[in-house]
Amino acid sequence: MKETANGRWSKTWAQRIRVGGRAVSLGLGSYPAVSLALARERALANRQAVEQGRDPRRRHAVTFAEAMAAVIDLHRPNWKPTSNTEQQWRSLLANHIDATIGTMGVAEVTAADVVAVLDRVWDRPELARRTARRISTTMKWAMGRGLRDNDPTAAAVAAMPKLRHHPNHHRALHHSDLPDALTKIRTSAAAAATKSALELLALTATRPGEVRNARWGEFDLDTAVWTIPAARYKTGTQFRVPLNTRAVALLTQARNLTHGDALVFPSPITGRAMSENTYVKLLKDLDIATSAHGLRATFRSWCSDTGVPRDLAEMALGHAVRGVEGAYARSDMLERRRTLMQQWNDHIT
């Protein structure tokens, strides 16, 4: 027991133990937050660490927030420059970890502590799953570094209500409704770059991030080809996108607004690449019932309805063609896709 500055008494569990031939005192947590049983469990873990030649004080020195930051640094080289993965990790750290278990020693975090984090996000299934995965990754990093002996994440998840399963189907317009939607976008009061980016997305059936991060050096308007480099493409290989007539006209107009190898559609606010929410906000403001990624589903539906061969439709979407079809797909079908994308252009403009 220890008297605090305001005259009250605090109760804290402590362990006297010899480390490296010297007697030291290790804190085991405050009572009643830490029960006698849990204090004994922590004391046993400290004794086992000493017997194995490790210093248990090191376990208490690293906080959970520091451990998660180390995991971010470890994996950052493997993330694509255009990925928002690091942003998601740091958002989790700032918004949920720092407010709960961030200052706790990584060795001291229990399943109950993890539950306290999950309680904050459990009403958002995708965020909840991502949070649990990243806490578990951090725990496993700590285990590998000898900072703790187990990963309590699975036990914490088991103590939570079952998450509702939401299939990741992107909302898609019927292709017959897309011409009117594009007219609403073009005539809206949104920034020119935002409107053009969303229209190019529909015209090319590419992925949202590929348009947001597109640079002028990737485009050859004379041959009407957009070459997305391997570093920016989902499959990790370079991909050529044939540009239909409306896409070329749109890009020719946009070219007058930027210079050099700059971003094609920079944010009008920051000058950097647009955020994912830029598309979301415009579609919501215009009451267009689709998502940016859903425009690809609209294109795929049109392909099915008009009898486009499956391998050609999949290649147009940049999907890997598997099985027997994939074994014989030695060409990127650029000219066949050029004809297809012009037919798509004529249907939606």
Amino acid, single-letter form, for residue 127:
L
Domain-embedded: residue 170: no
Residues 194 and 281 in one domain: yes
The CATH number of the domain holding residue 46 is 3.30.160.390
Q: Pick from 158, 185, 200: which residue ends a domain?
A: 158
Give, rounded to a whole angstrom, the gap between the first and last alpha carbons of the chain.
77
Residues 184 and 81 in one domain: no
Question: pLDDT by residue for the chain (349 residues), tens digit each?
Answer: 554 444 556 677 888 999 888 888 877 776 776 789 888 988 898 888 888 887 777 666 789 999 999 999 999 998 877 677 898 999 999 999 998 999 888 988 999 999 999 999 998 888 999 999 999 999 999 999 888 889 999 999 999 999 876 554 556 799 999 999 999 999 999 999 999 999 999 999 999 999 999 999 999 999 999 999 998 888 888 999 999 999 999 999 998 877 667 999 998 888 888 888 889 899 999 999 999 999 999 999 999 999 999 999 999 999 876 554 444 455 789 999 999 999 999 999 9
Q: Give the separation between CA 142 and CA 45, rounded to whole angstroms.
A: 15
Residues 257 and 119 in one domain: no
Could you tell me if 182 and 247 are in contact, meaning their C-beta atoms sit under 8 angstroms apart? no
Q: Determine whether 135 is exposed, middle or buried from the number of CB atoms within 10 Å of its CB (0-12, 13-18, 19+).
A: buried
Q: Give the separation between CA 48 and CA 71, rounded to whole angstroms.
A: 26
Torsion of Cα atoms, 251 then 253 then 256 then 260, to 10°: 0
- Number of structural domains in the chain: 3
Residues 116 and 217 in one domain: no
Q: Determine whether 223 is exposed, middle or buried from the number of CB atoms within 10 Å of its CB (0-12, 13-18, 19+).
A: exposed
Q: Where in the sequence is the domain holding 69, given as residue range(s)?
A: 62-158
The predicted model scores a pTM of: 0.57
Residues 228 and 199 in one domain: yes
32 prior amide bond cis, ω within 30? yes
Residues 95 and 232 in one domain: no
Residues 21 and 100 in one domain: no
Q: Give the separation between CA 180 and CA 202, rounded to whole angstroms.
A: 13
Residues 196 and 273 in one domain: yes
Domain-embedded: residue 216: yes
